[in-house]
Structure 1
Amino acid sequence: MKDNLEKCQLAAIAAVEAYNRPGRSFRTAQFLVMIVIAWTALFHAVYYRRNVKPWYKKNGRFERIDGDPKHWDLAECVKRFYGANHPAERKNIEFLIGLRNKIEHRHLPELDPSLYGECQASLLNLEELLVHTFGSKYALQEQLAVSLQFSTVVPPEKKKAARALAVSNARSVKEYVETFRGNLPSTVLSSMKYSYNVYLVPKVANRQSAADASVEFVKVDEASEEELLRLERLNVLIREKKIPIANLELLKPGDVVTRINASAPFIVSQNAHSDAWRYYKVRPKTGAKKPEQCDTAFCVYDEAHKDYLYTQAWVSRCIEAFSRAETFRQITSREPKLQDDF
């Protein structure tokens, strides 16, 4: 068990080192390989602590490879650890496993800007389980530091990312990311356990005791109402518009409705689609003073044409929602009608 914990720590530190290393090439891919190793080692340690051998069995006997037991891979560990439960932490791991499998033989540095949240959440979730199960002496915080930033300017690579992903060898990865995110319930998608997204706010030390750290993490559930109001105002001031992964394949409302009707069992009209974006709050109301304030995982404002375009992730979300009669009623306040009836 001790060897597994050491392996977990070393792999996690290597993952952070790979991600934080200056330069753009291959950082997410390297992070994924090492964080999967870290999670696998941690789960093995957890099972050994429970006196459970995390080994595969075949015909009632433990399988072996070159004389050594065949250990459970990460997917099997997750399946057995969480059972029938599907918290945001589990979805985060499953997302990264699938993504690791997708990009294992591809070179796609363009994905890095859009995947930071899931990568950061995975690291924090790993340390939380590590400390909760084995004690604070295994915490990684003393061995890690907040990565240094050279500039406050949004790098042009973020804006080029979607265009670069138009190449053929990136399409399956892009579709995987969009589909996975689009099928998540809103509670998971917005959870910090699934994707950790924060704002860097300049901090000025006005007393000696506050000068030891230039970055401060504030727990929302422990903050006062005044502090929450101040943070919300800061968020509004510095909020960065996220660039969706597939902005070369954004869809007009009519195209969205067509795709939904091609898969959903119930008839979805333009009005039903409008009800959906209002229900899920993916964009402002028509005529809003700030039309660009959208949930850009699902929708973006087209400044040139003064209208809204939608992502494939939004199509997936709508198909899932409109495929259930109860959800259809919640969104539209109308009774759904089957496609076959017309």
Structure 2
Amino acid sequence: MARPPRWQATLDASVEEACLAVRLYNDSAEARAFEGFVIHMHLAWLYLLHAQFIRDDVDYRYWDKNYKRRLVKIDGEPKMWELERSMKERWPAETDPVRANLALFIRLRNRLEHRHAHADDALMLTLSGHAHALLVNYESELTDQFGENESLALRLRLPIFVGTFTPQGEQALRRFRKTLPSGLRGFVTEYESGLDDATVNDSRYEFRLRAMVELAPKDPDAVAMQFTRYSDMTEDEREMVQELGRRGQVITRDRKQPVSGLGRLMPKPAAAQVEAGIPFVFNQNHFTAAWKRKRIRPPKGDPDPHHTNPDFCEYDEPTKSYRYTRAYVNHLIKKCSTTTGFEEITGLPALRKPNDPQSTAADPGVEGEVA
């Protein structure tokens, strides 16, 4: 059996934290369910981003500012990036809706732990859309980065609830929302005042959903809860949805079906993507030199072709070829963006692109085996 990748244990811990967060959120008997949800989703996101950093060879340790070669340590262990620092690395743009949603819960966690432990139920109701967005964003990041087989849909059940299915229930929830302490109401209002309208209205910041009882014949292949793509609707159906949207939104997300080699790249397009992301010439010769130098995969004719770096490369038995991950492409782009990094990864001189004013003599490249 192949050795599990280095990031797998961290990813597993992340998924466990997310599942625990959802269980707490859906447990009406739990006195501090929302606080538990926020804390465990905080850990789930932290471990998820750390798993990506491990896979992509990103150093997420803190280094001493006074001694460049000395790590900052806590109780003898290297200090790792906290969630806020990790978030900024993953989403540099402050206007990104996923970052805005995550930043809200990072700030909220401190308030929950120190001052507002007993406002749990009212806060859960007020921020239910934001909490759902936090979970949906996590699911999207999880499956986009690590594949559909890691989906929470394989581990969680659909919750059963009745709170908003009657006018009386809706009115009761509206009254209950007003019991939220003014400090927390002001916190949310102040936070959102610093965001632009596009971010606030994005479903990745706040997930708003309108549930309707389906009055149609049962489809034996359908699940109990389904989503319809806006693009698949007729004009009349879209108008109806827009009318309903005055009080809620219908949110959908495309799901990629499992496909062999999904998200993997062959050498030529992989090399092209690397070159597009760096200021230097990078062709298949450089690509080959890079995997050879760092032993990403065995050489041609090796008796054990499966012995690859699983984070970056996989062997396809039917075609007897190697496919490379997007993580490897991102790794090469990051490392080869500087002259020093380029030469360290490939063992070849860095040649700036012809249209670059600092372009130098032609790069001799490497001869021999194709990627």
Match of 1:266 in 2: none
Q: Aligned-pair distance for 1:214?
A: 2.8
Runs of 4+ with >4 A deviation: 233-236
Given candidates 143, 160, 163, the residue that maps to 2:155 is 143
> Measured at CA, do residues 234 and 24 of structure 1 come closer, stay the same or move farther in structure 2, by a change above 3 Å?
farther
- Could you tell me which runs of 5 or more consecutive residues in structure 1 were left unpaired when the two chains were aligned: 241-342
- Hey, which of these two has a bigger chunk of helix by percent? 1
Q: Which residue of 2 aligns with 1:176?
A: 187
The answer to whether structure 1 residue 37 and structure 2 residue 46 are counterparts is no
Measure, in 2, the Cα distance between the counterparts of 1:96 and 1:218.
Answer: 29
Cα deviations by residue, 1:217-246 (Å, 9 ceiling, x for unpaired): 12224433233233335556xx48xxxxxx
1: CA distance, partners of 2:97 / 2:209: 17
Letter of the structure 2 residue corresponding to residue 46 of structure 1: Q
Does structure 1 residue 124 correspond to structure 2 residue 136? yes
Instruction: For residue 123 of structure 1, give the secondary structure of its aligned residue in structure 2.
Output: helix
CA spacing shift, 1:41–1:200, aligned 2, 3 Å: same
The offset of 1:23, in angstroms, is 4.2
Alignment partner, residue 159 of structure 1: 175
The total of aligned residue pairs comes to: 232
Establish whether residue 229 from structure 1 lines up as the match of residue 235 from structure 2. Answer: no
Is the CA contact (8 Å cut-off) linking 2:24 and 2:30 kept in structure 1?
A: no
Q: Deviations over 1:123-155 (max 9, x none)?
A: 111111111111111111121233211342226
Q: Which range moves more in the overlay, 36-45 or 178-187?
A: 178-187
Deviation at 1:208, TM superposition (A): 3.8
Q: Which residue of 1 aligns with 2:96?
A: 87
Name 1:112's counterpart in structure 2. Answer: 124
**Contact 2:94-2:100 at 8 Å conserved across structures:** no
Q: Distance in 2 between matches of 1:179 and 1:85?
A: 16
Equivalent of residue 194 in structure 1, options 201, 205, 210:
205
User: Which 5+ residue runs of structure 2 have no aligned equivalent?
Assistant: 1-6, 249-371
Is 2:217 the counterpart of 1:217? Answer: no
> In the TM superposition, what is the alpha-carbon distance from 1:195 to its structure 2 partner?
0.4
Q: Which of residues 55, 65, 81 is equivalent to 2:74?
A: 65
Cα distance in 1 between the residues matched to 2:53 and 2:145: 11
Q: Which amino acid aligns with 2:11?
A: L
CA deviation map 1:248-274 (0-9, x unaligned) = xxxxxxxxxxxxxxxxxxxxxxxxxxx
TM-score by length of 1: 0.63
Instruction: Name the residue aligned to 1:185.
Output: 196
Task: Indicate the RMSD between aligned Cα atoms, in angstroms.
Answer: 2.1
1:29 Cα deviation after fit = 1.1
Partner residue, 1:337: none
The answer as to whether partners of 1:203 and 1:215 remain within 8 angstroms in 2 is no
Query: Identity rate of aligned residues, in percent?
Result: 24
Output the amino acid matched with 1:14.
Answer: L
Q: Partners in 2 of 1:88 and 1:24 — Cα distance? A: 30
**TM-score of the superposed pair, with normalisation by structure 2:** 0.58
| Offset at residue 24 of structure 1 (A) | 7.2
